[in-house]
Structure 1
Amino acid sequence: MSAQSEWGVAEPVRTLRDRYGDEIELTDEQDESIVHRILAEFRHGGNVYAVLQSKELAKEKEVAIFKVSASADGEPMLETIDDDDEWETVSELYDEMSFPGPDRP
């Protein structure tokens, strides 16, 4: 299945934006807080994903992609996507959304 046909089953959501606004502060491995802009959120295949970008990532024209889950108290939690196929699919969906047609990287 191509990213184009898979994108048809992705649904925009506002899980993080409704709770935090357009930016979210994450803590890195050195316990430093880094502000990330929320670029996109969508549901696909029963999961919610978020595409975030810090100023450092923006300089490199990169993004961070996370799976969004909920803690026991309903607080959104960001999870690393460990499965390569899942990460590739979500990345392609975001590319399709951001760069339609021949402009795609």
Structure 2
Amino acid sequence: MARLVTLCPRLSTLDTRTARPAPKQADPELLTPEHKAWRQEVLKRAGWKCQAPGCTAHGRRGGVRLYADHIIERRDGGAPLDPANGQALCAKHHSEKTARARAARMGS
């Protein structure tokens, strides 16, 4: 009867202790004083609370990080510095909204 021999794997695993990913680079447009003022205005107008329906996340004293999100994303033609195109979202809802917009943009 033939004996089954295990082959050594041809691909080695990546050692993340020595292979570091490239550092994240912020979009230079997001670092401008105009964008920072827009962000403050959007968050202040929202009362430092997530604006997603049913969400109770609160920034400032609540300790939750809030994102000033463009309702119509900049790459989809949204006004970059119009406060009417901004909403405050917690990390969970910001990620979900961004993923939906990306999927729609990709045609999925």
TM-score normalised over the length of structure 2 = 0.32
Query: By percentage of residues, which structure has more strand?
Result: 1
TM-score normalised over the length of structure 1 = 0.33
Query: By percentage of residues, which structure has more helix?
Result: 2
